[in-house]
Amino acid sequence: MSKDFAVIGLGRFGGSICRELSKEGKQVLAIDSDEMKVNEFKNIVSHAVILDSTDEESLKEIGIQNFEHVIVAIGENLQASILTTVILTDLGVERITVKAQNDYHEKILRKLGVNRIVHPEREMGRRIAHNVISNNILDYLDLSDDHSIVEVKAGVKMIGKSLLELNIRAKYGCNVVAIKRGEEIEVTPNPEYIFAHGDVLLVVGKDKDINRFERNLIID
């Protein structure tokens, strides 16, 4: 098999990664110490094995070091998650993504030099919170600790006005990088662009600037 992805831990998070990667036609090795979980994924992914990922020899045997990207999706058992990550780094796995359970877990993972740390519950919570504030806020993605990218519907105060007139960059310090109208997308839109109902904007900026922009122009 081509050594694309290995996913360790087949809970809801790891399981959903396995399903999506497989749907995208990727080769996935699914790993869990629980036989029932492994059986559940046998017909979904290219390979599934029962294995305790805190056992270095077992990981070596299946050639984990040859995988391009390993995702550690062990949740509750912090010790198992950390130990697995240490083994993967020691074996020289190049790309490791780990699901962090809490800030303390994240701190340790950072010290271990993990490339990507994810907090699915926290991230999803933030996205949903923004969406429930207003139906016009469609999606919200962190770019860094203090920068985000948001997908928003043009608010009523924007309709019939141009980008130039609204002066979004100067007034709110954030950038409209694309506007979608129906199936048409305008990337780096023209300043003369006039907003209409249903236009969807992609906006990048500092969190505080985006919040100000949303409060003034998006939330009706």
The site for ligand ATP (CB under 6 A) is made up of 8-14, 31-34, 37, 52-54, 74-77, 80
Cβ proximity of 215 and 134 under 8 Å: no
In the complex with ligand ATP, the residue whose CB is nearer, 85 or 148, is: 85
Least Å distance, CB 15 to ligand ATP, is: 7
Nearer Cβ to ligand ATP (12/107)? 12
Distance CA 14, CA 31 (A): 9
- The residue (of 87 and 179) whose beta carbon lies closer to ligand ATP is 87
Which residues pair with residue 50 across a beta bridge? 32
Question: In angstroms, what is the minimal distance from the CB of 88 to ligand ATP?
Answer: 12
Helix axes 103-111, 78-90, angle to 10 degrees: 10
Tell me the two tokens of residue 214.
């949303």
Cβ-Cβ contacts under 8 Å for 153 (sequence gap 6 or more): 135, 136, 137, 138, 198, 199, 200, 201, 218
CB of 76 to ligand ATP, least distance (A): 3
- In the bound complex, which residue of the shown chain has the CB atom lying closest to ligand ATP? 75
Distances from the Cα of 132 to the Cα of 39, 137, 203, 218, angstroms:
38, 8, 18, 13
Map 106-171 to HEC letters: HHHHHHCCCCEEECHHHHHHHHHHHHHHCCCEEEEEECCCCEEEEEEECCHHHCCCEHHHHCHHHH
Is 97 or 175 the residue whose CB approaches ligand ATP more closely? 97
Q: How far is the CB of 89 from ligand ATP (least distance, A)?
A: 16
| Least distance between ligand ATP and beta carbon 106 (Å) | 14
Tell me how far, at minimum, the Cβ of 77 lies from ligand ATP, in Å.
Answer: 5
For ligand ATP, the closer CB: 52 or 165: 52
**Residue 128 burial class via C-beta count within 10 angstroms: exposed 0-12, middle 13-18, buried 19 and up:** exposed
Phi, psi dihedrals of residue 203, rounded to the nearest 5°:
-125, 135
Query: Between 34 and 123, whose beta carbon lies closer to ligand ATP?
Result: 34
